[in-house]
Chains A and B, each alone.
Chain A
């Protein structure tokens, strides 16, 4: 295969071709290595292009993270590039904000306007930058620019990171290992994985890398087949791949972990030897109480504790669902502590940290801000303290719970600039849209976080010439700095983004670790592009140093929910759709038509009910129910779902777009985030998106969902 190593032109087809584009032969594919930007994982991709058009995205087989594999979203990246609803040039909203009437602008005009808006601020503090899934290089440029202007650093919020609990996970790492780097869970070599609400093979952290590891854990390892136990209130697709599903009361996952730990320590299970060091962790834990609170029987807890302790390489994973509770951080601590109890920190099949690349310049990564920073920004916007709001890589009107009031707050900001390539719900409220290139047209790099067993930097390069008159945000920032002059121009002295990138990666040139050698820095640049980044040839794991957290009892915090249990009897369990993730994929028809693995529904949105719950409400499949929280209500069709607790109802996130293009808007429904109460986990200062209660009211109407499966078949494999 010619995977990104060289253009695949080995045989020349003789054909008249008067003006051949660079590196192109008619009918001959050229593969370009780059980085997927459909989620923050940073998988390496190779893109097949023919005659200047991108035709197929595949995983980069040399990339250590995803090893040639790719998920559904990565495959669908072409529909970001060729999306019919992309903005084709810089625009100004001519009919006022929210009018959806646009007037095209030349880039010189647009940049002048941008410069004028920044330069005319009465105080740099009145500029706010709201970022989301920003590529590292754009974030670093933004950071430099904001610092040079004297403005506050960018506030980073996006729904995807929120749902996977990225912020709390970073804090967990800080608490346990004294570093903000996300740990790597060595799934491939583990033989007993206890996943607490981590949807490992769907959207959590680095799903492709985790799936690759799962494949070898199941059938690739010489030591036999590993098993997974999944603890969560709703059986996710990951739970379906697990060997056992333990339906825990929402928010009580930490109690299960505490009880398992207590049993192991108390009964001296396993082969670790002395548990004396860990006794202090569990000195306040009562297994009976924990069992009652989590509704997991003591027998089950004991059985699982034994299985966990007896396994050679057991591992517990604190997942994103935990972070969605108001006691999320305490639960995550309890889960991570299990790895300590079985001495799996820094060991094979356990938890380790990835080694950073030998260049400091690349280490500045966007870190998810505490949720109070977001609320604070909204307050400032409401108070009229923000004169200019710049938004990149996030869609807060859609991605923040409506109860936070962002949609009202944005109207109070005098001028809003968006970098979105699509007119999403937030861009509708922007005065000026400076559409970024899509990732297949852009330069960049990305340090995967969580990483893998070796230092990796994924490189991003344009695989096709930009389709439209859009401009990369990195270039816009560089141009803006040049126009602003002064400290900004000093902070960002580069002429263009390519030179900026080249300079940023020079630290890697000459490193003895690299998987490729170059004699000159120009040669290094070429190989960087051909490989699609830089990574170490050999595995280099970093053993975490455990902080003094292990010397005091683990915190125990009861779950709290918003909404009166009498009035609102059900827990609302939102989860990110495997195809649409946090709604970002909703404008890609392939992802819309991709069936949800568990319900097999294509397009559409739904609420999942336990058969028992549905019966008590008197509703069946496809019946529309009104889901009502103390904040809002929405109507949605029912899916009878055997794998969910009777007191929990689940709705996938991703649909309910008011804007964001024809494919996203084709699906009727409301954004389920509207139901959420803006409550937080005080320990991690993160949005507790799983802590709202709702009630259901049958409407008596029906809407047929586009299921792949036949309802008559009742989910059976055969009827023998």
Chain B
């Protein structure tokens, strides 16, 4: 970022995540990293079988063709941080709202659990806490103090690891500078072995995400809905051997 973080102007940042499908191997490292960073609860087999898992990022797997010419493709799907987010206007208590950095923020404390946002979200990336989270001792020792634990009855979702954004910003400010491009890494981006995930400021024309956003491979999920997502996908290439 070119500007000094101390004098950041409202609306000058738009956080975005680039997902390069050509690199993604579906290895699930992002999924576990997200669990570790964001204090998600573990629901167990029975609840998971009933669609009540709490992953903030899931890797869709699509089959194409039939044996023997069959292909499988992976697509990580997390909250798309839409600019025109369908989930935002429907919340009766402003538990989900748009912040000035383009993030679709979720205030857990404010959520009363109407699940309206979950219905409104076309990507179905919002997950609900159906029961009280349980962390058998001493698993609770691991919980990240930067992220609150969500009780039953509230919706949660990917935040782009806003706590990591803030931590890096504060550390950078303490050193009298702005965070460099690529310095801020959500947990999934940090761990992704193939660097299929990349995070940065879409409004900064020099950032890697904004350059990749203009790649001929780039597309957004369900563009016909006009949600203007902050997650940019790069199509997987293919070589006909």
Q: Which of B33, B61, B136, B144 contacts A55 (CB 8 A)?
A: B144
Q: Which of B5-13, B42-50, B98-106 sits within the interface?
A: B42-50
Q: Does B142 contact A (CB under 8 A)?
A: yes
- Pair B191/A58 contact, Cβ less than 8 Å: yes
Interface size on A, residues (CB 8 A): 92
Q: What is the interface of chain B, defined by CB distance below 8 A to chain A? A: 20, 22-29, 31-33, 35-37, 42-46, 48-49, 53, 55, 58-63, 65-68, 70-75, 136-145, 171, 174-175, 183, 187, 190-196, 237-241
In the complex the two chains form, what is the Cα distance from A593 to B43 in whole Å? 8
Chain B positions within 8 Å of A595 at CB level:
28, 31, 55, 58-59
Please determine whether B72 and A240 come into contact, CB atoms closer than 8 angstroms.
Answer: yes
Contact status of A240 and B71, CB under 8 A, knowing A70-B193, A589-B42: yes
A708 CA to B52 CA in the complex, in Å?
A: 9
A412 sits at the interface (CB 8 A) = no
- Separation of A227 and B241 alpha carbons in the complex (Å): 8
Q: Tell yes or no: A485 within 8 A of B by CB.
A: no
Q: Can you name the residue of chain A whose Cβ is closest to the Cβ of B34? A: A75
Q: Does A610 contact B (CB under 8 A)?
A: yes
Q: Which residue of B is nearest A591, CB measured? A: B32
Asked if B28 and A578 make an inter-chain contact with CB atoms under 8 angstroms apart, the answer reads yes
Task: Note all chain A residues with C-beta closer than 8 A to B33.
Answer: 70, 72, 75
**What is the bound-complex CA distance between A219 and B211, given in angstroms?**
14
Residues from chain A with a CB closer than 8 A to the CB of B175 are: 10
Q: Does A643 contact B (CB under 8 A)?
A: yes
Query: Residue on A with the closest CB to B142?
Result: A78
Query: Would A642 and B142 count as touching, CB distance under 8 A?
Result: no
User: What is the minimal beta-carbon distance from B45 to any residue of chain A, in angstroms?
Assistant: 4
User: Are A666 and B63 neighbours in the complex by a CB distance under 8 Å?
Assistant: no
- A59 beta carbon closer than 8 Å to chain B: yes
Q: Which A residues form the contact surface with B (CB < 8 A)? A: 1, 10-11, 27, 50, 53-59, 66, 68-76, 78-79, 81-84, 201-202, 207-208, 211-212, 214-215, 218-220, 225, 227, 229, 235, 237-241, 243-245, 247, 303-304, 307, 467, 578-579, 589-595, 597-598, 600, 602-604, 610-612, 642-646, 662, 666-667, 704-709, 714-717
Q: Are B191 and A245 in contact (CB under 8 A)?
A: no
A-B contact count (CB 8 A): 234
* Residue numbers in B under 8 Å from A706 (CB-CB): 45-46, 48-49, 53
Residue pair B142, A82 in contact (C-beta under 8 Å): yes
**Contact present for B23 and A215 (CB under 8 Å):** yes
Knowing A58-B190, A646-B67 are in contact, say whether A211-B25 is a contact too (CB < 8 A).
yes
| CB within 8 Å for A715 and B62 given contacts A75-B32, A604-B45 | yes
Return chain B residues, CB-CB under 8 Å to A59: 190-191
Choose among A74, A212, A597, A714 the residue that contacts B26 (Cβ–Cβ < 8 A): A597
13 inter-chain pairs at a CB distance below 8 angstroms, sorted by A residue, are A70-B191, A72-B31, A220-B195, A229-B241, A241-B26, A245-B71, A247-B67, A597-B59, A642-B63, A643-B72, A666-B45, A704-B49, A709-B60
Further 8 A-B residue pairs, CB within 8 A, beyond A76-B32, A708-B53: A55-B142, A70-B33, A240-B74, A241-B25, A642-B65, A643-B72, A646-B67, A704-B49
Q: In the assembly, what is the distance between CA of A56 and CA of B59, in Å? A: 22
Distance between Cα atoms of A303 and B239 in the complex (Å): 13
A75 touches which one: B29, B44, B72 (CB < 8 A)?
B29
Q: A79-B139, A201-B25, A219-B20 are in contact. Are A235 and B72 (CB under 8 A)?
A: yes
In chain A, what residue has the closest Cβ to B26?
Answer: A597
Q: A595-B31, A642-B70 are in contact. Are A76 and B36 (CB under 8 A)?
A: yes
Q: Are A219 and B139 in touch, CB under 8 angstroms?
A: no
Nearest CB on B from A405, distance (A) = 32
Is there an interface contact between A84 and B48, defined as CB atoms closer than 8 Å? no
Chain A residue at minimal CB-CB distance from B238: A243
Among B25, B36, B53, B142, which residue has its beta carbon within 8 angstroms of that of A214? B25
Q: Which of B63, B144, B194 has the most CB of A within 10 A?
A: B194
* Minimum distance in angstroms from A230 CB to a CB of chain B: 11
- Chain A residues whose C-beta falls within 8 Å of the C-beta of B238 in the assembled complex: 243
Of the candidates B29, B71, B138, B192, the one having the most CB atoms from chain A within 10 angstroms of its own CB is B29
Min CB–CB distance A193 → chain B (angstroms)? 11
Interface contact A708-B58, CB-CB below 8 Å: yes
Residues of A contacting B241 in the complex (Cβ-Cβ under 8 angstroms): 227, 229, 243-244, 303-304, 307
Pairwise interchain contact A600-B61, C-beta atoms closer than 8 A: yes
